[in-house]
Amino acid sequence: MLDPASIQPAVVSIPAAIPSPEFAWAGLILLLPVLAAVLSTICGARGVKGKLPGAITSIALIASFVTTLMLFLRLPDDAPRTVHLFDWVAFAWSGTAPNTSFLAPFALYVDSLTLLWMLFVTGLGSLISIYATEYMEADVGKGYARFFASVAFFLFAMGALVMGGNLIVLYLGWEGVGLASYLLIGYFYTKPSAVAAAKKAFIMNRIGDLGLALGGFLIWTNYGTVEYDALFKAISSGAAPAANASAWGAWAIPYCLMLGAFGKSAQIPLFVWLPDAMEGPTPVSALIHAATMVTAGVYLIARMFPLFSLDPNALLVVACVGCLTAFVAATIGMAQYDIKRVMAYSTVSQLGYMFLGLGVGTTFGAVYHVFTHAFFKALLFLCCGAIMHGMAGQLDLRKLSGVRTVKGFGIISWTFFIGCLCLAGFPFTAGFFSKDTIIAQAFASGNPTFAWLGWVALFTAFLTAYYTFRVWFRVCAGPQKYEAGDEVHSHDDGAHDAHGHDDHGQAHGHAHGHAHGHAHGHAHSHAAAHAHSHDWHPHGPRWAINGVLLVICIGALLAAVPSYNGELQHKPNWVETMVAHSSAASGIPSHEHAAHGHEAGAAAHHALSFTGIEDVHTATSVVASAVGVLGICVALWFHLLNRTAADKLRAALLSNGLTRWLPLLLENKWYVDEIYHAVFRLPSWFLGHVLHFLDKQLIDGLLVNGGARVPVELGRLFQPLYNGALQGYAATMAGGIALIAAWVFWIWMHGG
């Protein structure tokens, strides 16, 4: 257990927010997407056949981004601002206790953390919306309007989540993004697997939502408010929460919020929904399930950091869960063949890093990693999507090779390469800097537990580099060879085919492993490719996709710039400044020392002292670079230079009874879905049937109907000539009334 003394919760003062009605126009950031959602829905209802919904949504989102930018430029940096839009859940009563009202106005709380998040949310949102206008064009007139309405609604909900001035507005956004995610994962609604994935995502998130709600309740009972400003005021005034106000003390608050964060950000134990969420269209995977929505959990903890910093043990839990998730997800990512799934597990893993960063106390590292990850992971997903789009839905990395040399795929392949470098943490890329900040803090904190987590994080960095370049070397490099996916038919048929596949996969897949399902898939794809080979060619994307890829690629590269400033000029980079000026900076234990690590402590022994480098940051950078490059080299060997070696290794592991478990465990995703099914789903489902039976047979049958028979039988006894139903009921009533009269009399006698 962590020694609480090792992290001293600093008494922090967060400047009181300034009510700023003059910034009411910031509400446009939320309003514009709502308008776009409504208009797109109307387009859908009117059956508009064209790209109008896409255009509306893209324009609205760009406008929303511009508004955010204006807010960013205009807002003075002195203190957080609150903007009261309208009263939402708000009422008062007369009571004796301190709480005589519940106030959750629809208000905005804008500080630099809010702005940082909103900039990349609206920025990437607009770019991905433009990308989707081309990507989704096969669905024009069908699901096109529904798609863009959902995307626009998502941007509204995400905005409410990030900009909301209290936990209730955050909750609105929280559930709102869950709904958008549900609608978009289930976009291909005729596919049972997509419907199931959407449902799973929503329900898993609801478990987290319950945690968030309970955390909100607890904050209200302890601090008497759910508004950030008042809450931070209460915390930084050092006033203890209303003493023993609750059977659950204030200590439970971070644990409840944590559950919410883990649900939304797909951490252990609630991570299994995210990989399944890849059933949605790829732009959605990029926007919602990589760049923005899944970082909401990180936002929540960063926003509530003053609360978390009161409890070192809670932060320790966050760090451990994050680190474990990073490791587990990376191992699964190594063994997946579907490139989108690799990226999905990679997202889970990278989110784990962010939570590790929060847990070890570098909110800057966590937020910076959110920021850089948003760019390069969106880029990676969009590249996967572009390949899939051009290859008729092909996502299996064994059936794609040398795509780089196919005509029209050049931009995709090279932007993909840059995204991979960032994800792999190749030296001097954005991902490298942000990940290192987190790992270095783990080592620099001087806490032995954190140092262990640092080692795991370093090993995970090696795995990350390996699985990332496994994809790139397989898909983009090597000899040109590809098979069409199953969307070579018209779009709808494609969806139906996919449905057929999944049925088989589910029916036979789990017990017998992948082989069966894939055999089937193979046969089918061959047949399909064969039948249509004369009229199918891979087609490269046009300007909307290529342009967006280039812009986001540049963004991913530029995301490293703040760190160049920081590392080379020893100034805090601007992301760090923004975090430092927000509530997320507060109470970071000796943050200034650790982040710049030149003064105290760092010169002493740290876990990486064996490198001979005194500064823990430099040491981490060196080790992490080495690890990353090593991972890339291993991938290079197994997946480009000697591809058969990978298959041989897998076969060798499988054939050996002692090592068989390893590939099976990884390929079956640690059997987490199966465990959930056996431990939660099946028993509850069974219980449902049992209760249904009891409800009908015991409560209704025996007690109610049986009870009703008693007076009926009595009535028959007394009136043997009349045994029609009506008389029975009359007797029932008479008997009942008599009984009641007797009872009342009895009470009267005894009670008075």
Partner 1 sequence: MLSTLTALLLILPLLAAGGIALGPARTSKWIATIASLAVFAVALAFSWGFPGWTDGSIAPSDLGLSVMPSLGINLTLGADSVGVMLILLTAFLMPLAVIGSFTAVVDRQKEYYAWFMLLEAAMIGVFLARDAIVFYTAYEFTLVPMFFLIAIYGGAERRPASIKFFLYTFLGSVLTLAGVIYIAAQHALAHDGAWTFDLAALATFASSELSNTQQYWVFVLLMIGFAVKVPFFPVHTWLPLAHDQAPTAGSVILAGTLLKLGTYGVYRIALPTAPVGGVELDQFIAVLCIIGIVHAALICWVQTDAKKLVAYSSVSHLGFCMLGLFALNSVGATGSVLYMINHGLSTGALFLCIGMIYERYHTKDMAQLGGLFKVMPVWSFFMVFFTLASLGLPGLNGFIGEFLCLLGCFSAEPNSVAGYPGLLGPWYALVAGSGLVLAAMYLLIMLGKLVWGPLKEPHHDAHATTQSGSSLPADLSPREIGILVPLALVCLAIGVYPKPMMEAIAPSVEKTLAAYPKLVDRYVQDGSLVAPRVDMGQGVARAQPVGSE
Contacts to partner 1 from residues 90-119, by CB under 8 A: 90-100, 102
Q: Is 433 in the site for partner 1 (CB under 8 A)?
A: no
Nearest of 188, 208, 209 to residue 197 by alpha carbon: 188
Q: Among residues 218, 290, 356, 439, which is the contact residue for partner 1, using CB under 8 A? A: 218
**Amino acid identity of 1?**
M
Regarding 706 and contact with partner 1 (CB under 8 A), the answer is no
Pick one of 239, 641, 699, 710: the residue that binds partner 1 (CB under 8 A): 699
> In the structure, how many helices (H) and strands (E) does the chain have?
31, 5
Could you give the string, one character per residue 251-290, with x where binding to partner 1 holds by CB under 8 A and - elsewhere? -x--------------------------------------
Cis peptide before 269 (omega within 30 of 0): yes
CA atoms of 212 and 449, how far apart (whole Å) = 27
Contact between 6 and partner 1 by CB under 8 A: the answer reads: no
**From 120-128, 207-215, 353-361, 565-573, span contacting partner 1 (CB under 8 A):** 207-215
Minimum separation from the CB atom of position 520 to partner 1 (A): 19
Confirm or reject binding of residue 752 to partner 1 (CB under 8 A).
yes
Shortest distance, position 171 Cβ to partner 1, whole Å:
6
Determine if 684 is a binding residue for partner 1 (CB under 8 A): yes
Strands 18-19 and 81-92: what pairing? parallel
Restricted to residues 310-339, the positions that interact with partner 1 (CB under 8 A) are none
- Residue 45 interacts with partner 1 (CB under 8 A)? yes
**240 is a contact residue toward partner 1 (CB under 8 A):** no
Smallest gap from residue 695 Cβ to partner 1 (A):
6
Work out which of 708, 714, 716, 719 binds partner 1, going by CB under 8 A: 708
Interface residue with partner 1 among 63, 130, 132, 214 (CB under 8 A) is 214
In the complex, the smallest distance separating the C-beta of residue 746 from partner 1, rounded to whole angstroms, is: 10
Q: Can you spell out the DSSP letters for 422-473? A: HHHT-TTSHHHHHHHHHHHHHHHT--HHHHHHHHHHHHHHHHHHHHHHHHHH
- Comparing CA positions, the residue from 634, 614, 638 lying closest to residue 626 is 634
Q: Give the Cα separation of 322 and 342 in Å (integer).
A: 18
Cα 93 to chain centroid distance, Å, stands at 38
Interface residue with partner 1, options 49, 598, 696, 709 (CB under 8 A): 696
User: To the nearest whole angstrom, how small is the minimum distance from the Cβ of residue 20 to partner 1?
Assistant: 22
**Contact of 498 with 485, CB cutoff 8 Å:** no
Q: Is 736 in the site for partner 1 (CB under 8 A)?
A: yes
Nearer to partner 1, 527 or 704 (CB): 704
Q: Taking the complex as a whole, how short is the minimal distance between the CB of residue 273 and partner 1, in angstroms?
A: 12
Asked if 533 is part of the footprint of partner 1 (rule: CB under 8 A), the reply reads: no
Nearest alpha-carbon partner for 338 in 399, 267, 268, 412: 399
Identify which range of 215-223, 438-446, 469-477, 643-651 contacts partner 1 by CB under 8 A: 215-223
Give the span between the Cα atoms of 119 and 110, in whole angstroms.
12
Strand-pairing partners, residue 207, are none
Q: Kindly state whether residue 709 participates in binding partner 1, applying the rule CB under 8 A.
A: no
Please list every residue from 443 through 502 that binds partner 1, using CB under 8 A: 496, 499
- Measured CA to CA, the distance from residue 36 to residue 58 in angstroms comes to 9
Select from 316-324, 649-657, 658-666, 686-694 the region that touches partner 1 (CB under 8 A). Answer: 686-694
In contact, 184 and 147? CB cutoff 8 Å: yes
Write the CA distances from 737 to 504, 711, 712, integer angstroms: 62, 11, 14
Which position among 12, 38, 85, 207 is part of the footprint of partner 1 (CB under 8 A)?
A: 207
DSSP reduced 3-state for 25: helix
What tokens appear for 155 in the block? 């941007």
Cβ contact 614:451 at 8 Å? no
The residue among 161 and 319 lying less far from partner 1, judged by its C-beta, is 161
What's the residue count for the chain? 752
Q: Is 687 in the site for partner 1 (CB under 8 A)?
A: yes
Residue 203 interacts with partner 1 (CB under 8 A): yes or no: yes
Q: Specify whether the CB–CB gap between 425 and 465 falls below 8 A.
A: yes
Shortest Cβ 688–partner 1 spacing (Å): 4
Q: Is 238 in the site for partner 1 (CB under 8 A)?
A: no
Using rule CB under 8 A, residue 176 touches partner 1? yes
Interacting stretch for partner 1, rule CB under 8 A, among 130-138, 448-456, 658-666, 725-733? Answer: 725-733
Name the amino acid, one letter, at 747. Answer: I
Q: Contact region for partner 1 (CB under 8 A) — 340-348, 420-428, 521-529, 683-691?
A: 683-691
Q: Cβ closer to partner 1: 86 or 610?
A: 86
Report d(CA 368, CA 374) in Å as an integer: 10
- Min dist CB 94 to partner 1, Å, is 7
Q: Of 3, 22, 87, 647, which lies in the binding site for partner 1, with binding defined by CB under 8 A?
A: 87
Work out whether 558 is an interface residue with partner 1 (CB under 8 A).
Answer: no
- Taking the complex as a whole, how short is the minimal distance between the CB of residue 239 and partner 1, in angstroms? 14
Contacts (Cβ under 8 Å, ≥6 apart) of 35: 60
Cβ nearer to partner 1, comparing 41 with 133: 41
- DSSP string covering 235-271: HHTTPPPSTT-SSS-TTHHHHHHHHHHHHHTT-TTS-
**Residue 750 interacts with partner 1 (CB under 8 A): yes or no:** yes
Which of residues 704, 709, 718, 722 is near partner 1 by CB under 8 A?
704
Q: Report the site for partner 1 in 130-169 (rule: CB under 8 A).
A: 168
Question: Contact, 560 vs 433, CB < 8 A?
Answer: yes
| Contact region with partner 1 (CB under 8 A), list: 129-137, 189-197, 452-460, 576-584 | 189-197
CA-nearest of 611, 502, 625, 463 to 190 is 502
Residue 242 near partner 1 by CB under 8 A: yes
Q: Is 742 in the site for partner 1 (CB under 8 A)?
A: no
Nearest to 223 by CA among 106, 129, 98, 360: 98
Contact 164, 86 (CB under 8 A): no
Q: Which two tokens stand for residue 65?
A: 């981004």
Q: How far is the CB of 306 from partner 1 (least distance, A)?
A: 20
> Whole-angstrom Cα distance, residue 224 to residue 506?
50
Structure tokens at 631: 């991972």
Choice from 515, 645, 649, 747 touching partner 1 (CB under 8 A): 747
Count of residues that interact with partner 1, criterion CB under 8 A: 84
CB of 329 to partner 1, least distance (A): 24
Among 18, 675, 710, 741, the residue binding partner 1 under the rule CB under 8 A is 741
605 makes contact with partner 1 (CB under 8 A): no
CB of 149 to partner 1, least distance (A): 10
**Closer CB to partner 1, 13 or 237, in the complex:** 237
Buried b (16+ CB within 10 A) or exposed e, 370-389: bbbbbbbbbbbbbbbbbbbb
Alpha-carbon 619 to chain mean position: 32
Site stretch for partner 1 (CB under 8 A), options 20-28, 114-122, 344-352, 696-704: 696-704
**Residue 732, interface with partner 1 (CB under 8 A)?**
yes
Measured at the CA of 354, the angle between CA 348 and CA 360, to 5 degrees, comes to 135
716 scored as a contact of partner 1 (CB under 8 A): no
**Number of C-alpha atoms within 13 angstroms, CB side, residue 58?**
16
Please give the Cα distance from 13 to 78 (Å, whole number): 13
**Per-residue tokens: 212:** 């968030």
